[in-house]
Structure 1
Amino acid sequence: MIKAIAIDDEPVALDIIRNHAEKIPSVNLCATFLSASEAFNYIKSNHVDVVFADISMPGLSGLEFAEMVKHRVQVVFTTAYPEHALKGFELAATDYLLKPINFSRFLQATQLAESRMQPPAAPENLFVKDGHSWLALPLADLLYARGEDNYVSLYINDKRILTRTTLTVLQSKLPVRQFVRVHKSYIIALAKIEKIEKHQVSISDAKIPLSMLSAEELLQLLGTTGYNVHI
């Protein structure tokens, strides 16, 4: 569900957006505003995904408003002036709708906004350097990784693969909901944990120390990332 608001100094324009939004089940138009400053105050205390904002308004303009909320919400500009389009996209606007806004174009903008709300798909393979070649290692088979200086040992089922990298670089390439660093030298696959003790976890035949996380923190993390854990 997209939580949206709309800003326009013309009530008729807001009525059009409201009517369009009511036809789309995935859009909840939570509020409308006649000024950008009122909308900005609303965003400070309410969650909003998308703002439909007119560009030319008295006081705080739509462009100024977009600059203020950049990286916090998606902005879809609505305006009767196509010459503002370039500036709008410089501000990383999700879309740019020309008035009068027809329903099909409004629907397209909401679908684009919704697609940007979806988290990127987790990679299925990890590519690591092996001598002069690159290997594609299935992430589903990775048990844990152990780092030592500028090398990392990857434990894939019954195999050990040594690659030249650091544990920090490796961590940046792994899905955060599937792998966690539990020690300065270890990253583990959450789904491969067999046993959790006070100061260590068991994965296959390995006993991996816990120093960055306590057993309680690890159990809590498993619960919040969707694993079936009974604490």
Structure 2
Amino acid sequence: MKKWKCVIADDEPLARELISDYTDKVPFLELKGVFKDAWEVREFLKSNKVDLLFLDIEMPGLDGLTFIKSYPTRPKVIFITAYRKYAVDAFEVKAIDYLLKPISFERFLKAVSDLDNEAEIKHTKDHIFITHERQQVKVMLSDIKYIEARGDYLKFYLESQKPILTKMTLKTLIEELPESFIQIHRSFVINQDKIMAYQKEKVKVGEDWLTISRSFKKDLNLGD
């Protein structure tokens, strides 16, 4: 079971104590720090890697939303607040959930439950294992044509079988793949060895034409 390293930031002592108690009850959460404001979290993250932030929104000095928007490589975040008015802003920064105080343990558990189901990727030089339908499935790298991001899920398009859907972020995947896999769009990563044809703004991988975004075009070496 993967341990999700997390920290808590809230200016209310009782809220910090409550969320700390809740994290202790969840076996896949590992609490690494408890802070009273976002500035303390910012300093902590400079030298420590965490997977998840439990973050209050209204805090003195630096509010939670401003902090998240200004942090380029932020962990996943679950906002904790007494106010409904920030919900839209919270989900615009792709928060996992938005918890309203007072928070029951049942609601807290619901917010973190999907974390335990998120796929982990394990790889060697010629294949990877991805989580699919509650089992680890072996996929040869040479069999992958391209990968499509669909919200919180990735769809692997393969030569030898039907596509495989798994819960994983594109960012997590790219960090584990060899250099032959290139991102050409915010929604697509392709295996360059599978390119069949290309035009100025799109590339054919297998039988499918995929759009090349301008921002990623420089990373794709097509010989022109």
TM-score interval w.r.t. the shorter chain? 0.5 to 0.7
- State the AA in 2 paired with 1:138: S
Q: Residue in 2 aligned with 1:212? A: none
CA drift of 1:123 comes to 6.3
- For 1:5 and 1:75, the matched residues in 2 are separated by 10
Question: Are the aligned partners of 1:53 and 1:78 in contact in 2 as well (CA < 8 Å)?
Answer: yes
- Tell me the TM-score normalized by structure 2: 0.56
- For 1:53 and 1:45, the matched residues in 2 are separated by 19
Q: Secondary structure at the match of 1:25?
A: coil
- For 1:109 and 1:19, the matched residues in 2 are separated by 15
- State the AA in 2 paired with 1:165: A
Tell which structure's C-alpha radius of gyration is larger: 1
Question: Within 5 A, what are the aligned runs for 1:1-231?
Answer: 1-116=3-118, 118-119=120-121, 121=131, 137-138=159-160, 164-165=196-197
- State the AA in 1 paired with 2:196: R
**Two-structure CA RMSD over aligned residues (Å):** 3.5
- For 2:21 and 2:158, the matched residues in 1 are separated by 50
- For 2:25 and 2:73, the matched residues in 1 are separated by 28
Q: Residue in 2 aligned with 1:193? A: none
Percent of paired sites with the same residue? 34
CA drift of 1:4 comes to 0.2
Unaligned runs of 5+ in 2: 122-129, 132-137, 147-156, 162-191, 209-220
Q: Secondary structure at the match of 2:46?
A: helix
- For 1:153 and 1:20, the matched residues in 2 are separated by 48
CA drift of 1:74 comes to 0.5
CA drift of 1:118 comes to 3.4
- Tell me the TM-score normalized by structure 1: 0.54
